[in-house]
Amino acid sequence: MKILIIIATILILSFFAFADEWHPEQGAHFVGALGLTVVTYKIAIDCFHLTKWQSLISGIVVASLIGIGKETLMDSKIGEKDLIVDAAGIATGAGILMYFEFDGEFKNWK
């Protein structure tokens, strides 16, 4: 059941993110946000010895702040589509981490 929820969330976010035109920069936003989420999680686990949940939240927060910071500082405006694609990448990264790292902790989650 949880895999269906994760896949449905990814598909819904992807639909809204890519409903208009596709630009190569949006692919970079998606992959960058996904990568930042996963890498920050692994750094938080391995280097700072945080719990899985703390590490997951850390990954989400760091990827969100970098995405918003890049849009406001470097692009001098907030692009809605870029932030939606960032959110889709973060959600995908979080979903992947939850599926592979939290396998035994969701027995009661329905």
Band the pLDDT of 56: cuts 50, 70, 90: very high
Any domain includes 6: yes
Q: Which of 64-73, 80-89, 101-110 has the lowest mean pLDDT?
A: 101-110
Q: Which pLDDT does position 48 carry in this prediction?
A: 96
Any domain includes 20: no
Higher pLDDT, 12 or 70: 70
How large is the average pLDDT for residues 71-92?
79
Any domain includes 42: yes
Any domain includes 22: no
Question: At residue 53, does pLDDT exceed 80?
Answer: yes
Any domain includes 90: yes
The domain of 50 spans 2-15+30-105
Q: Is the pTM of this model over 0.85?
A: no
Any domain includes 23: no
Round to whole Å and give the CA distance between 48 and 26.
31
Q: How many structural domains does the chain have? A: 1
